[in-house]
Structure formats: structure tokens, C-alpha cells
Amino acid sequence: MSHVNATLTPRTRLRLARLIVDQGWTYSAAAKMFMVAAKTARKWANRYRAEGVAGMADRSSRPRCSPAKTSTQLTRQIVGLRWRQRLGPVQIAGRLGVPASTVHAVLVRCRINRLSHIDRVTGEPLRRYEHDHPGSLIHVDVTKFGNVPDGGGWRYVGKQQGAKNKSATSRRTGQWSPDRHARTGVSYLHTVLDDHSRVAYVEICTDEKAATAIGVLRRAVAWFADRGITVERVLSDNGAAYRSHAWRDTCAELGITPKRTRPYRPQTNGKVERFHRTLADGWAYARFYTSETHRRTALPGWLHFYNHHRPHSAISGQPPITRLTNLPGHHI
């Protein structure tokens, strides 16, 4: 595509070439009219004679051959050191005896110039995916948060006062560990996240058993249906609840295809894992809560903010709810 300051665009080139070829103008006269060199006018006229209108289009300025181009063998060595040892351009350049700028150019060309683009386990480039419409795939997972003791937790009141608050809460609830240490209990947050829109549904439960997970799935499917989303697939890890026959049968009843991640590969379910970090930073530990009831009361408001108002970096800075207009057949 011609740049904004180009003297000759494809259409102007055609006018120039036709004056010379079709109307018999001299190169000098045509060049003077269009304020270009006679050599330029000759070039476009010759191309018009040889190729016609198609010859007026822009072409790549890439050279036919590049004798100084980095060899395939050196490129493989650079990529191998990047993948296996996660070295930077300067370290790789020192080992291979080439300029760091050359190494950086190779890494950019191979799209592995950022370590965040490389899987820490396998050393291979991350493979990202996104389903094309809401409901095509939902992610499910469970995360745990320790309950907030009466009076606040140690993150805000300090460890000494936090221990006192925890002991006081244990005396009130009667919950103690076998060795008589104070215990406030754990909250299990069951999360259902839509892959395309990142819209989230969360419930706080007392366990992560199959019956509880199934109940959350049923309510989540109904919640998504109220928003015009039909769930087609569900992706989970290999937890006992998701490997149960009850989970399989419930998915069949709801018309959902169950899928599980490869063992020891939480990255496959990375969208919901990343949401849990956002949940912790934005809700669980974001402010001072005087009790667990206080924190749980704040969850619906934060979820509404996340779904309807919080800009999401993975969807062009828009709130997740804005993608629910991209339903199958919506724009047909």
C-alpha cells in the first residue's frame, strides 16, 4: 500500500502510463506533468505495456536474495538456547559469538522475543486459543480462601492482632484443629467462566464435592441461558468431582460435552486460573473486612463490576458483558 506522501498512487501511475502508451506522450512531457523523473515515467510505461492495469499495483520492496541473512543453523541454535535455558539476547550472543542485535532480530522473527510467550515447563511458545462465540466453551474450577476472622485478618490488622481475632472467632464457632489451634475455616469458590466473553459466574460453597459442583453447573447454565447463552462444552481439571460419573451424566443431561485438561497442565485452563488471581486481588484481599460475612456480602457487587464495568485487557479493554452481543446468528 502506498504511503501517505507518495507522489504516484496506483491510479495516478495508470494515468501516467496511459498518456505515454495510449496517447503517445514523451517520457519527459508526461514526467513533467506529474512532477516525477523521466526514468520513473519510463518504468511505469514499460510495466503497463507488459502487465496492463495489474502492473500498477504496489509490490514488495524485499530483495530477491539476502546474502547476509542469518543462516538456518544459527537461527536454530539461538531458538534452542532461548527455549531450553530462557537466555536473553546478550547471553545468547556471548555464547554464539554474534551481535546481540542479530539475536534479538531472530527472536522477534520467531515470535519468542518475550519470555512471557514461552511455556515455563516445556520451553515452547505458548499456544493461545479463544472460542468464536459465547457458550462454545466454559471453564470451571474451584479456588479456596481462608475465612476472615471477626475483627479482620492479619493482612490488615497485623499478625499479632490477627492471631487474637482468629482465636476469638474459634471460641465463638467452636472450630479448632486437632492440636487445639484456632481455625476459621475455608471458603470454596466455584467459578464458571465463559471462554469467549470472560463473563464469570461464582458461588461460595462449603466443599468441592461432586454434588456441589453439579449444583453450581446447573445454576450457572441457567444463569447463562438467561443472558442468551447456550453452553456447548465445559472444560475442567482432573479433580475428583469432575471425574465422577455424576458429573458426566449431568453434562449429558444438559447437552454439554465435558472436557478435561491434561494432567499437571493447569495452563490449559489458564483463563479461569487467571480470573482467580483477579478475584483475589480485586475482592478477597482488596480491602479491610471485619468478618467473613462482610466479605461475602461484597462479592455480588464486585462480580457486577467485573462483568459490566471493568476493562479486560484480553478483549481490547472492554468489559466482558460487551461480548455477549456476539452470539451465533446475532448479526445475520
How does pLDDT run along the chain (332 residues), one tens digit per residue?
Answer: 566 567 788 889 999 999 999 999 999 999 999 999 999 999 999 999 999 999 998 888 888 888 888 899 999 999 888 877 878 899 999 999 999 999 999 999 888 887 766 666 566 666 677 888 999 999 999 999 999 999 998 889 899 998 898 888 888 888 888 877 888 889 999 999 999 999 999 999 999 999 999 999 999 999 999 998 999 999 999 999 999 999 999 999 999 999 998 887 777 888 999 999 999 999 999 999 999 999 999 999 999 999 999 999 888 889 999 988 654 444 33
Question: Residues in the chain, how many?
Answer: 332
In this prediction the pTM is: 0.65
CATH number, domain 138-147+185-325: 3.30.420.10
**pLDDT for the residue numbered 331:** 39
CB–CB of 291/148 below 8 Å?
yes
| DSSP state for residue 149 in the 8-state scheme | P
Collect all residues with Cβ–Cβ distance below 8 Å to 280 and sequence separation of at least 6: 143, 145
**pLDDT for the residue numbered 124:** 61
Cα radius of gyration rounded to whole Å, the chain: 31
Strand, helix or coil at 315?
Answer: helix
* Range 316-324, long-range pairs (CB < 8 A, 24+ positions): 320/194, 320/197, 320/198, 320/199, 320/200, 321/197, 321/199, 322/197, 323/134, 323/196, 323/197, 323/198, 323/199, 324/134, 324/197, 324/199, 324/227, 324/228, 324/229
Instruction: Compute the distance between CA of residue 226 and CA of residue 199 in angstroms, rounded to an integer.
Output: 13
**pLDDT for the residue numbered 84:** 79
Q: Where are the domains of the chain?
A: 10-56, 72-117, 138-147+185-325
CB–CB of 61/85 below 8 Å?
no
CB–CB of 302/294 below 8 Å?
no
Strand, helix or coil at 193?
Answer: strand
